[in-house]
Structure 1
Amino acid sequence: MKHSLLHYYREKQKQSEVENVYETQCPFCSMQCKKKVIEQSFVTRKQYKTEGVDNPVTKGRLCMKGMNAYAHAVHEDRLMHPVRKQPDGSWKEVSWEEALELVRDQFQTLQKQHGTDSIGVYGSASITNEESYLLGKLARVALKTKYIDYNGRFCMSSAATASKAVLGIDRGLTNALADIPKAEVLLLSGTNIASCQPVMMPYLEEAKANGAFIIVIDPRKTETAAIADLHLAVTPGRDAALTNALLASLERQGLVNEAFVKERTEGWDELQAHLQTISLKETADYAGVNVQDIEDAVRIFAGADTGMVLTARGVEQQTDGHMAVRNLLNLVLLTGKIGREGCGYGAVTGQGNGQGGREHGQKADQLPGYRMIDNPEDRKHIAEFWGIPEPELPGRGVSAYEMLEKVKDREIRAMLLVCSNPVVSNPNASFIKDSLQTLDFFVAVDLFISESAQYADLILPAASYLEDEGTMTNLEGRVTLREASKKPPGSSKPDWKIICELAEALGAGAHFPFRSAEDVFNELRHASRGGAADYYGMTYERIRREEGLFWPCPALDHPGTPRLFAEGFARPEGRALLTAVESEAAQTTSKPTETYPLLLTTGRVMAHYLTGVQTRRSTKLAARLYESFIELHPATAEAYAIAEGDLVDVTSEAGAIIVRAQLTPDIRRDTVFVPFHWAEHQNVNKLIPGKLDPVSRMPGYKSTPVTIKRHEPALQPAQT
């Protein structure tokens, strides 16, 4: 009898099972892996599993984050309806009508009192191209404010400004990922691909199997550096100096590709004169790398027929990051390794849409198609396309961090925050928290009540990646289409729809007549036409059929452009620009002091992503690493009387945090490392000062002077 009942209920359960399959892309890093999430519904529960889908970029591979990315999308903490903060600090659900009316009344009242620029818009490199485009249009057409920027400012801005200045175009990689295995030498500067883009590692492994020599520049022997043939453990913040030593050695060994330099570049005479003033020994010592390793690296890199340089945040997130990247571009150009098969430069994008996010108008100085807001022709083109008088198009604003300074100064009185968490991601994090609390009105668009959204007056519930269709541009410049067939829960909505409804509430609905993400993309294509990032030749149907298209793609019969600069550069006369770079940016670079003798560098770990709002809601990911840590050399730990597992106070001029010690010989003795995925007392960005690169406006996350000591818990008063 008991067996029969058990059999009955099992059969009943099988009959009740419903399976839904959602074709999508991973929402995290710039590889944008194709996958499907399988939802199985039973009588009392649902369960999920993820499978990779074959595609030209990742061949069906997924990392642990991609496998578990469904968790935050179905998490019980998801916001289902708009919520408004009450006087006692609690949240109350409100209707969309009430929420939109509140935004309209608050924004219009503040702009009437303080001017159109009293509203700031803070965007994201995790939203789609369509939403990036709409957010820029909302700021400049509906709100008429110049203040818009996005969290991608902290991702690739140094590489972007350097590439545009030197090559004339900023695209993550100048060639396709498929070129990596064809390179005879790879130089990776400040990029830990194994932790940050794990599914990209097979490209490096294939190159190594083909005989490639791999050089890694990093103060830590990371999982990526472990596969290197030569590891240059640079002192944090001295990347420009190290590259100067490489270039000086290149010139002195007579390894400059003189034919390429003469035919394809300008500025060699000035750069050569500069290199001849450099003491190779002194510069190498300052960079923390021995001369023999520098000479070997140069001989191998220059001697190979093909080669690539890949950079990431380690070199870019410096207060001289713009010039540090320009110096590495000098190395690419002086050896002629660009515009050919197996050759090129690439900034390995961090966020999922870090590339596309800045191409269509979220950045303070840019308009759709990578047009520049200060360029009269670009302004005229976009104003006419949008149907507004050119004088009404606002001018250049400021960077993301500087917008929060404007908030503190009361120049910006209200803010729209979309899919970002500045309290955790910005430098000088305690200042950011104080700044947000001074806003007269603060509205956030998010999946959750994040560390930043908790200070909002109103939160609008966004759809997750499973529910939000649109295009993304990966690190190669390949535009992919993320399908989304899952219905948003409750009354949450895709970001593109929220932006359109905000525009309607603000009286600009005629400029936002879209009924689907594809409608938005079709306008974006035309807006970008003729720009550097030309998407005109792309359609959803083409992207589906061809599994992604590389920009520029200027016509419907154009195949796209996997490799840039085969014939010339996007600068006057087709020549790239060589630049003399100082080894030390005295005006911005922080140095160790007697009080703060160690250098802090920050970065990612494999199990988490950005500020952790999404990945910390996956039990499987959180279980892999549930708290932050400080990585330090055993000799350094001994000097400070710190043992493995101790809690450690880490202090800089900007603030202090408490994290747990992890000892490893794979880091310089003068360097400590803390990841940036945690908040509150583990928020490493409390330690980072608000100094910015003078060109890219990038903060210096990678070289902050700090001191450490073993944490001593405060004694509790004795009970009486």
Structure 2
Amino acid sequence: MTELLLKYFRTKQQEVQSEKVYDTQCPFCSMQCKMQLIEQSVVTRKKYTTVGKDNPTSEGRLCIKGLNAHQHPFHQDRILHPLLKVNGEFVPISWEQAIGHIKEQFTSIQAEDGLNALSVYGSASITNEEAYLLGKFARVALKTRYIDYNGRLCMSAAATAANQTFGLDRGLTNALSEVPHTRVIILAGTNIAECQPTIMPYFEKAKENGAYIIAIDPRETGTTEIADLHLKVKPGMDAALANGMLKVIFEEKLHDEAFIKGRATGFEDVKGYVMSLSLEEISEMTGVSVEHIRLAAMKFAGEESGMIFTARGVEQQIDGTTAVRNLLNILISTGKIGKPYSGYGAITGQGNGQGAREHGQKADQLPGYRLIENEEHRAYIAKVWGVDKDELPGKGVSAFEMFKKIEEGEITGMLLMCSNPVVSNPNANFVKAALKKLKFLVAIDLFVSETAKLADLILPASSYLEDEGTMTNLEGRVTLREASRPCPGEAKHDWQILCEIAKALGKEKYFSYSNAEDIFNELRIASRGGIADYYGITYERIRKEQGILWPCPDLEHKGTERLFEESFAHADGKAKMIAVPNTPEVPKEKPSDEYPLYLTTGRVMSHYLTGVQTRKSAALAARNFESYLEIHPETARKYSIENNRLVMVSSKRGSIVVRSRWSEKIRQDTVFVPFHWADSQNVNLLVGEELDPYCRMPGFKVSAVKIASV
């Protein structure tokens, strides 16, 4: 018996031959949860386990995506070598050949079509260092004005609204630790239960502490379940709903006159317009009863502290900027900003959606949230980069507008980094057709995505397990993603790829870095004195302090937990209110006899963005292996749609086929389709190309459609 036991234990010892632990952060949402991947070698295979690590934001929590994030870096479809398209097929080539081919194509295109014929399309999932470097690469190595990124499709409305209202855009004006102590919360167009699950305990704790929660959403979701009041608004009517609440606040004299007088401008214009409106008409427009509009307004204004949070439901509209500004009018009118437990939060979507929009990927932007058309800003950044300010190109156009420039023949080449615009952009058929017109498209990615399939050359990138760098989470907290796992095959970091291309183009002296920290130290200087000031943040400090909230202007500064305590970031120190009309200046598509239903879009918990990564995870793909149409049973019966059957959904732009899913949790005039799928299930084939006039955001959340059983 003893001999058998010894043999058993010897076998077990041999089975677990080694164990490695990799510290990292989840590559998905903006919570940027800290975690460890434990790799065990067991006989002939490896076993992986993910565990959460304590940190100030998610406190060690992980959701289903984080627990299974490691499955995509190890997937057999991952690109491990540069791939060149030859006779319609991708063939492996060497890095030397790949860089040489890029040099030849880029040089030829700019010689024939001009410097601005090349474009750069970036990502809000890459590190701060890589986002910063991509902006520098476009303007210094390529000297093109055309650079933008996929964050334009996610956070741009909230960012623009915050900049216009406060003079500064940081995801949350307060640290998340304040949320449990606030007295009233508005969650507008945000389904955090599925999109950022690890943030939910903050709101659940607030509810336990007696906070009153108001949710604004056309659907019942896991988030609306925690609400005391759910305003089931018609899609696209958020600005009008906010006007209704403002009218009640002014009628009941619940606004904070002292705060408004001392710290805001534009109040009289807002009040004058709102008081001319009819609550009954607003109720008819929004589909929310007068009783509920009054209740929401009285509850929010009547408490001593309160917070408003917005996300894509409000923002992804062609009046997204002004809709957010009207919700901020409520915040300012009641004096609930710059105080303990009171403030605004834009629930950032992508992993580095905050940091990626601060340091130069946007068409009009330079590092530190500086503006490319501001001569003082240009001069400062030119000095940091060692170039003449007059050599820096001017402002380009937004992400979707770059495809129009391609269609018009002005842009003939593109460098695409870690994004999938064929699936993520509106009027997706148009985007695909435009990309096919390019003389040369090079894609940097982990997989051959729907967009990468159209590329002439694909370069293998590193994953979150391998690529070290800083990320800025939804709070504005700068964190450091440790990434010590070696790159597989011939994959390289995004920053290394950019440096190698720059070297081939004769710009090596501007791109000589030996690691990500070198780039960050330059970013610190480039951001110094800007709105998003990172100068006082270092890798050493982040490791010691577990992240630092910007602005942090010097090494002794502790970081800024609460913004606007004494003044706003405009020159006069005041917030700017504006009157927002019930009907936007760019008309939204409305249901008609031919297209009688509203279509709105969103996420499901198990997938992320266009699904390129999550659909490579067996555990995540199994939870939602296909798209679907959420439809109210009464609506389904009206159009002869049986439950769990294939349905054709059509708009003026095109059609998709998805499976029906009956639900009494959605408005009867509205259907919902998630946006993580491609090809015949790509809901963005149905979305129009009209853009918000201020931030250039497409109107993903409101389209008119018809449905028919297949």
Question: Is TM > 0.5 for Structure 1 vs Structure 2?
Answer: yes
Query: 1:17-96 alignment to 2 at 5 Å?
Result: 17-87=17-87, 89-96=88-95
Unpaired runs of at least 5, structure 2:
none
Change (3 A) 1:577 1:12: closer
* 1:43 CA drift (Å): 3.0
* Counterpart residue number, 1:316: 315
Measure, in 1, the Cα distance between the counterparts of 2:438 and 2:4: 65
* Counterpart residue number, 2:530: 531
* 1:588 CA drift (Å): 3.1
Cα deviation, 1:162-199, whole Å, max 9, x if unaligned, reads: 11011000111111111111110000100000000000
Measure, in 2, the Cα distance between the counterparts of 1:14 and 1:40: 12
* 1:16 CA drift (Å): 6.0
Contact 1:124 1:152 in 2 (8 A): yes
* 1:4 CA drift (Å): 7.0
* Counterpart residue number, 1:238: 237
Measure, in 2, the Cα distance between the counterparts of 1:50 and 1:212: 34
Q: SS of the counterpart of 1:460?
A: strand
| Identity score, percent | 59
Unpaired runs of at least 5, structure 1:
712-720
Cα deviation, 1:404-436, whole Å, max 9, x if unaligned, reads: 111111111000000000011001011111111
Contact 2:586 2:692 in 1 (8 A): no
Cα deviation, 1:545-571, whole Å, max 9, x if unaligned, reads: 000001100000000001100000001
Measure, in 2, the Cα distance between the counterparts of 1:672 and 1:611: 20
* 1:528 CA drift (Å): 0.3
* 1:13 CA drift (Å): 6.6
Q: SS of the counterpart of 1:73?
A: coil
Cα deviation, 1:659-718, whole Å, max 9, x if unaligned, reads: 00111111100000000000000000000011110111000000100000111xxxxxxx
1:605 corresponds to which letter in structure 2?
A: V
Q: Which moved more, 1:535-544 or 1:281-290?
A: 281-290
* Counterpart residue number, 1:511: 510
* 1:586 CA drift (Å): 4.7
Contact 1:588 1:692 in 2 (8 A): no
Contact 1:194 1:201 in 2 (8 A): yes
Contact 1:148 1:362 in 2 (8 A): yes
TM-score (norm 2): 0.99
Q: Tell me, yes or no, if structure 1 residue 673 matches structure 2 residue 648.
A: no
Contact 1:13 1:43 in 2 (8 A): no
Contact 2:14 2:43 in 1 (8 A): no
2:130 corresponds to which letter in structure 1?
A: E
* Counterpart residue number, 1:554: 553
Q: Tell me, yes or no, if structure 1 residue 271 matches structure 2 residue 270.
A: yes
Q: Tell me, yes or no, if structure 1 residue 402 matches structure 2 residue 401.
A: yes
Contact 2:318 2:586 in 1 (8 A): no
Query: 1:635-674 alignment to 2 at 5 Å?
Result: 635-674=634-673
* Counterpart residue number, 2:588: 589
* Counterpart residue number, 2:134: 135
* Counterpart residue number, 2:696: 697
Measure, in 2, the Cα distance between the counterparts of 1:436 and 1:38: 41
Q: Tell me, yes or no, if structure 1 residue 333 matches structure 2 residue 329.
A: no
Change (3 A) 1:6 1:237: farther
* Counterpart residue number, 2:474: 475
* 1:537 CA drift (Å): 0.2
2:93 corresponds to which letter in structure 1?
A: V
RMSD (CA atoms): 1.4
1:515 corresponds to which letter in structure 2?
A: S
Contact 2:15 2:43 in 1 (8 A): no
Query: 1:209-220 alignment to 2 at 5 Å?
Result: 209-220=208-219
* Counterpart residue number, 1:98: 97
Cα deviation, 1:484-512, whole Å, max 9, x if unaligned, reads: 01000011011111111111111111001
2:641 corresponds to which letter in structure 1?
A: I
* Counterpart residue number, 2:485: 486
* Counterpart residue number, 1:543: 542
1:304 corresponds to which letter in structure 2?
A: E
Contact 1:185 1:214 in 2 (8 A): yes
Aligned residues: 709
1:67 corresponds to which letter in structure 2?
A: L
* 1:9 CA drift (Å): 10
Measure, in 1, the Cα distance between the counterparts of 2:525 and 2:30: 25
* Counterpart residue number, 1:418: 417
Query: 1:567-606 alignment to 2 at 5 Å?
Result: 567-606=566-605
* 1:10 CA drift (Å): 6.7
Measure, in 1, the Cα distance between the counterparts of 2:136 and 2:403: 21
Cα deviation, 1:146-167, whole Å, max 9, x if unaligned, reads: 0000000011100111110110
Cα deviation, 1:359-394, whole Å, max 9, x if unaligned, reads: 000010110000011111111111111111111101
Cα deviation, 1:232-263, whole Å, max 9, x if unaligned, reads: 00100111111111111111111111111001
Contact 2:16 2:40 in 1 (8 A): no
Measure, in 2, the Cα distance between the counterparts of 1:400 and 1:40: 43
Contact 1:23 1:483 in 2 (8 A): yes
2:24 corresponds to which letter in structure 1?
A: T
Query: 1:251-270 alignment to 2 at 5 Å?
Result: 251-270=250-269
Contact 1:123 1:417 in 2 (8 A): yes
Measure, in 1, the Cα distance between the counterparts of 2:109 and 2:651: 37
2:81 corresponds to which letter in structure 1?
A: H
* Counterpart residue number, 1:221: 220
Measure, in 2, the Cα distance between the counterparts of 1:490 and 1:463: 10
Contact 1:588 1:693 in 2 (8 A): no
* Counterpart residue number, 2:454: 455
Contact 1:13 1:42 in 2 (8 A): no
Q: SS of the counterpart of 1:122?
A: strand
Q: Tell me, yes or no, if structure 1 residue 684 matches structure 2 residue 683.
A: yes
* 1:573 CA drift (Å): 1.7
